């Protein structure tokens, strides 16, 4: 296996109509969650990924698990929890620039995960552990599990990749800041957005943020700048890799996970950091052109064509 990740994937309902969701009568049913968005992105690019989670022992949990497995993700460490339901969320697309997410996930099966869901032998089969800042926000047991997963993976020599994925609806500012900074200090590679950097350090200048994350402990920081692209920082060099032009953004949710998949795919292929960031920018951009968090994730040949056509 190349990468292991863990976290909550939910049933996603999206109104078929734009505007206020209160007027929506028909919804499409999809599945989404940061870690499986990322995992499926990597699988489409030809890599092998394992996902650790829990789903409810219910119809939607069974559908979700079949779906993720069908996308080629190893789900041998996913369990059914008979005592809690599969989480659900709604994505209201009032228009392309006004998108709201409503969670119905409190007490969900995945939020009941504990460190006992982690299998050390399973983790040690991979080269990378992908950690998203959503999982520690789900519950105190998930927060402990996240820190234990990092500890175990580090001991086994895995590279820790961390996407802070700040979700203010899930926890208090103080809890979020403290935990995300703790994880940032333990990660090898960190993929924050500027707004997340500003939340954590009270600073939004990209150069200063890059340095702050390096000082906090990361060896490589890739700061996401939206349509401007991404700026990477190591102790020795830093460089801005411009983003790709997108004619029309349909749905930006999931772009960060696509970005992470493109970047880790580049590292797995042994690309120089700059080229891995180009791939990350391309996958992130492609995700925004399609409604759904995983529907726009490209295959390898699609990314190549997109990069060539857009003249990076
Ligand atoms: O940062 P992104 O827009 O890439 O993340 C989107 C995902 O896991 C989305 O699929 C949703 O399920 C979530 O983030 C979340 O819990 O908010
Ligand atoms: Mg994100």
pLDDT digits (tens, 9 = 90+) for 110-135: 999 999 999 999 999 999 999 999 99
What's the 257 CA to ligand 1 centre distance in angstroms? Answer: 8
Is 293 touching ligand 1 by the criterion CB < 6 Å?
A: yes
Q: Is the CB of residue 165 below 6 angstroms from any atom belonging to ligand 1?
A: yes
Q: Whose CA is closest to 47, among 75, 73, 78? A: 73
Q: What pLDDT shows up at residue 87?
A: 98
**pLDDT value at position 270?**
98
Q: Name the percent of the chain lying above pLDDT 70.
A: 99
pLDDT at residue 312 tops 80: no
Question: In whole angstroms, what is the distance from residue 247 CA to residue 142 CA?
Answer: 39
Q: Looking at the predicted structure, is the pLDDT value of residue 148 above 60? A: yes
> Can you tell me the mean pLDDT for 218-232?
97
* Minimum CA distance residue for ligand 1 atom 1: 256
Q: Answer yes or no: is the C-beta of 64 below 6 A from any ligand 1 atom.
A: no
CATH superfamily of 3-8+33-85+112-310: Ribokinase (3.40.1190.20)
| Buried residues in 262-277 as b, exposed as e (16+ CB within 10 A) | bbbbbbbeeeebebbb
Kindly tell me if the per-residue pLDDT of 274 is higher than 60. Answer: yes
Tokens of 1: 């296996």
Reported as a single tens digit per residue, the pLDDT across 2-50 is 999 999 999 999 999 999 999 999 999 999 999 999 999 999 999 999 9
**pLDDT band, very low/low/confident/very high, at 187 (cuts 50, 70, 90):** very high
Contact 158/129 with Cβ under 8 angstroms? yes
Supply the pLDDT for residue 232: 98
Nearest-CA residue for ligand 1 atom 10 is 33
Atom of ligand 1 nearest to the CA of 163: 1
Q: What is the pLDDT of residues 253-268, one digit of tens each?
A: 999 999 999 999 999 9
Angle at CA 49, nearest 5°, toward 44 and 143?
Answer: 125
pLDDT at 95: 86
Mean per-residue pLDDT, 203-228: 97
For the chain, give the mean pLDDT.
Answer: 97
Compute the distance from residue 180 Cα to the ligand 1 centre, in Å: 16
Determine the pLDDT at residue 109.
98
Task: State whether the beta carbon of 159 lies less than 6 angstroms from ligand 1.
Answer: no
Active site residues: 257
pTM > 0.80: yes
């Amino acid at each position: 296996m190349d990468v292991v990740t863990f976290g909550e994937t939910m049933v996603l309902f999206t109104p078929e109509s734009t505007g206020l969701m209160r007027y929506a009568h028909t919804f499409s049913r999809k599945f989404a969650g940061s870690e499986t968005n990322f995992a499926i992105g990597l699988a489409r690019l030809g890599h092998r990924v394992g996902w650790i989670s829990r789903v409810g022992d219910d119809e939607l949990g069974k559908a979700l698990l079949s779906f993720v497995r069908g996308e080629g993700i190893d789900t041998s460490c996913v369990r059914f929890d008979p005592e809690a339901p599969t989480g659900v969320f709604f994505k209201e697309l009032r228009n392309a620039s006004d998108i709201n997410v409503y969670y119905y996930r409190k007490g969900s099966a995945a939020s009941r995960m504990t460190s006992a869901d982690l299998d050390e032998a399973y983790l040690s089969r991979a080269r990378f552990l992908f950690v998203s800042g959503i999982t520690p926000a789900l519950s105190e047991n998930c927060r402990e599990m996240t820190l234990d997963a990092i500890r175990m993976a580090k001991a086994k020599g895995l590279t820790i990749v961390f996407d802070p994925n700040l979700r203010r609806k899930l926890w208090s500012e103080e809890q979020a800041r403290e935990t995300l900074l703790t994880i940032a200090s333990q990660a090898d590679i960190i993929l924050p957005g500027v707004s997340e950097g500003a939340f954590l350090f009270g600073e939004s200048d990209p150069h200063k943020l890059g340095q702050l994350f390096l000082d906090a402990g990361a060896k490589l920081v890739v700061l996401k700048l939206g349509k401007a692209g991404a700026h990477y920082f190591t102790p020795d060099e830093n460089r801005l890799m411009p983003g790709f032009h997108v004619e029309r953004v349909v749905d930006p949710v999931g772009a960060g996970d696509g970005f992470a998949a493109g970047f880790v795919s580049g590292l797995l292929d042994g690309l120089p950091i700059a080229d891995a960031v180009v791939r990350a920018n391309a996958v992130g951009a492609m995700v925004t052109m399609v409604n759904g968090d995983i529907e726009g994730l490209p295959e390898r040949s699609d990314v190549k064509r997109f990069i060539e056509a857009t003249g990076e």
